[in-house]
Chain A
Amino acid sequence: MSSFRDRLRAFLEANDPGRPPKDPADRLRHQHEWAALLVDEGFAAPSWPRQWGGMDLPLADQVAYHEAFAKVRRPAHPGSGIFVVGPTIIKHGSDEQRERFLRPGLRGDIIWVQGFSEPEAGSDLPSLRTRADRDGDDYIVSGQKIWITNARSADWLFALVRTGSRESRQHGISYLLIDMTSPGVTVRPLRDMTGGSSFCEIFLDSVRVPVANLVGEENEGWKIARTSLGHERSTAIVAQGMRYRRIIDELHQLARDLGRTHDPRTRQLLAAIEIDVRLIILNNTRTLSTVLAGSDPGPVSSIGRLMFTEFEKRLHELAVDLIGAPSMLAPADPYSVQRGRWVTGFLATRASTIGAGTAEIQRNTIAEQVLGLPREEPVPVAT
């Protein structure tokens, strides 16, 4: 185990592509080169089989991997959707799909994005309406997907589509891989409340998709979409805790730089957020140690996400309050604090309790699946 850590440390020390370029196209190339290097040198996808470009590491080494990467600044993956679609293809895909998509996706040669949400299907994802109708060896796909991250540079979309009857809910959903260059695919950027447009919506107008791009069986997409490899989420969560440990340390430094560490109110606020981050890390550790001991963490892991999203909001509220006026300056302003990072983060984290399952959905899950409370009234069939 220590030899793996040593090899990893040596690799990271020897390889540092430096700060990302400002120009978006250059930045994408920068990220692509790094992702490809990781695959080629055998330092990508710790939980994936070697056959598909991964490392097939034991759980303890996966943790070490995430720890090491969280400590250093390295380029983000250019198409992180592969880490969602990849495990699904590994478990449920055809050999042809595995050959064609896994390694290129990891290397960043293919940029994957996720098309699950629709304008009318957010929290209630099983009500999604994008239709895929069989026509010979193809599906004809029509509908609209929304809140897709970085769709403008995407090559492939993995989408949930309706193949069953309108009322079939999760029993009539299929998992489809869609080539973004297909005729009938239109991408439109969305302006979000930070002023940026990292999200897009995708319109699908009678797009022909070969049946060979179906993952698993028709109408089995709902279950398939929940695939993950072993306990990779529990190990990856380590990185998240470490990242926020680092951010809190930076916040402490900021308080020192601003000369605020003697202010009693600031001290109280910093102490409160310090407790928060420690609790999150402890909770992650608890989940992880259960996994490492070979058992299922069960209900404990469902606490993590809710804690984390609400913490993220509080942290940025605190930072903006602490910095005051300079946090509100334009990023390029000479007096701005860390290029406006905190107020941008403040605005961006308002989405934390919305995206990937609202706080209400998370609490319902805990209330019903962990505490065993009765479900709300049965859902009437949508008309």
Chain B
Amino acid sequence: MQQVNPANAVPVTRGRSGKRFPFGMAFVYLCLSLWALTTIYPLIWIINNSFKSSDEVMDNSFKLAIPPDKLNYTNAFESISIGRAYANSLIMSVSVVLLVLIVAGLAAYILSRFKFRGRNLINSLLVATLLIPTFATVVPVYELLLKWKVVNTYFGLILPQTAGNLSFAILVIAGYLATIPKELEEAAFIDGCNRFNMFTKIFLPVGRPVFASTSIFVFLWSYNDLFSAIIFVNKDSVRPIVALLAQISSQYGTDFGLMAAAVVLTVIPVLIVYLFIQKYIEKGMTEGAIKG
């Protein structure tokens, strides 16, 4: 890594185009804002509609809900016990995230920083694993879970979901860890660290951005995974919120107001969690960007 001479050190803000293309910049901002509109508007639309009765939604889905009507929300909590489903989702998805980060982190560390025979083979194996769709494994996994008597328990969903996320997580984390300069490792070695210490003292902290991003993806995937949820944990006491959502759309299929409220309740907590972790990632990324 080059040493940065303080005399000509440049601040690490990334506005590289500077004054070159003023009209170009305006164009860029325009495009970005248009796309931002398509990502934000549907959320607003659905939050708005969740405060209307179903008839009002069908009548005009764009009218502002004034005054906002809470009927859909009270309905959701009372008649379909959405609170329990929430708790289930959170418990299971957070467990999956933690498990994946630990298991994949260790494996990714090995894959990216050690040289050994068979490394490329394992890499290719992991990529190939990405191609295995859930449907190809679901039935035998169900049989397995039945045999171990964990169907309709938390582990019944946590274990398969963790396994399902591992190949993706390992590849992404390893990809990032591979770009960490060797000098850090060498310095640690000189300082007398063993491999495990190197992992905890160097790679874990330096790899924070990728761990944070991976945890978001894993959490989202686990939280929104409908297919496995309906099959493995469909009983009321353990059912996650997505399964509940699916049931609503079939049972209360024409109550658009209730559906909108259910969707909002499903989506908002994830958004909030996401916004929190975002700050964390941003900090991690700028820390890592200062070289030298």
Bound pair: A and B? no
List the interface of chain B (C-beta within 8 A of A). Answer: none
List the interface of chain A (C-beta within 8 A of B). Answer: none
